[in-house]
Amino acid sequence: MDDSARNITTPPKRRFEIPYKTSKIIWGVIFLMPWMIGFVTLFAWPLFESLRYSFYELTPTAGEITEEFIGFGNYIFAFNEHVTSNSSFQVELINTTVDALINLPVLLIFSLFIAVMLNMKFRGRAVVRAIFFIPVILNSAAVTTALGGGDAIAALLEEQGIEQIFDLEFYLVQTGMTPILIGFIVGLIDRIYAILSLAGVPILLFLASIQSVPKHLYEAAKIEGATGYETFWLITLPNVSPHIVTVTVYALVDTFLTSSVSNIISGELNRQNWGLSSAMAWVYVSTIIGILALLAVLAKSFKIGGSHYEE
């Protein structure tokens, strides 16, 4: 057999190929490397120091800070004795945690619904998108006060001798609903301002994920005669589900950052109660980590967050 025939029958040597999952891990590490370097060089030591400070009573003196080890004294004081003018750290932490757990599902459903609506073609779509994102661009105390305008309106009505225009809770009681359901509905209505202020970035994330769905899937579904309802549940939602975890983490962290718990911690820090503020901060962080761990277990159980293309 001559050389030409041998070259035809001999298959070419395959070059080295990295498995897909290994490639994903490598690129993930590459993208995380800047954050990891910044965390180790800039954040790790202050984080460790704040944990150590939480077990001490720190007293500023001339030229130094006196440290007195008190164990879990700061944590006990934060939970059992700390009070403000109208509340306490324990009460605000519990209220913020409950609000976050209630707001999360409502925020996810609302953001996804608005993102689906904004993905449709209609006149003024860019203006409507900008309106929903304005609270994020103008995230200031003035905007927060404006979004919480319900209190101002209630005060104005009270000055005019009008306590309430429409008592929703009273009318719901007349319908025979259970008190738990009535409290839940009224609570959601009261949270409208908070949900709108938090919905800007989640809407943007969901909108980006919807627009990344391959168009041929919708075209094939349309040819097969699928309705809009079926298209949403069988195409849109499965492709958006990997981003639900991202939106949940963002919404949870943003809820705590804008809560009254952060103001209490900042207030103690400004009053030079550094040990107490460190203990509060670690309780605050531990609460967020605990909620994230619970959500991770639920996401794992219901298989939320994974790409269905890799099944």
User: Element (H or E) spanning 227, and its range?
Assistant: none
Task: Tell me what the mean pLDDT of segment 6-12 comes to.
Answer: 55
pLDDT band for position 29 (50/70/90)?
Answer: very high
pLDDT band at 204 (very low <50, low <70, confident <90, very high): confident
Would you state the pLDDT for residue 156?
56
Cα 276 to Cα 281: distance, rounded to the nearest angstrom: 9
- Are 285 and 256 in contact by the 8 Å Cβ rule? The answer is no
Residue 85 has pLDDT above 60, yes or no: yes
DSSP assignments along 10-62, one per residue: SPPPPPP---HHHHHHHHHHHHHHHHHHHIIIIIHHHHHHHHHHTTEEEEEET
CATH architecture for the domain at 84-310: Orthogonal Bundle (1.10)
Closest CA to 191 of 107, 294, 256: 107
- In this prediction, residue 38 carries a pLDDT of 93
Q: What is the mean pLDDT of residues 205-218?
A: 87
Single out the residue of 213, 197, 303, 297 nearest to residue 251, CA to CA: 197
Q: Which two tokens stand for residue 177?
A: 């609903």
SS3 at position 68: strand
Q: Where are the domains of the chain?
A: 16-43, 84-310
- Model pLDDT, residue 89: 86
Q: Which of 43-57, 168-182, 195-209 has the lowest mean pLDDT?
A: 168-182
> Do 148 and 190 meet the contact criterion of CB atoms below 8 Å apart?
no
Q: Is the pLDDT of residue 58 over 70?
A: yes
- What is the percent of the chain where pLDDT is above 70? 77
Mean pLDDT, to the nearest integer, of 58-72?
A: 84
Least confident stretch, 51-60, 144-153, 213-222, 244-253: 144-153
Q: Is 306 a residue whose pLDDT tops 90?
A: no
Mean pLDDT (the chain) is 78
> In whole angstroms, how far apart are CA 132 and each of 26, 201, 202?
37, 9, 10
| 205 has pLDDT over 90 | no
- Range name among 35-44, 109-118, 278-287, 296-305 with the lowest pLDDT average: 296-305
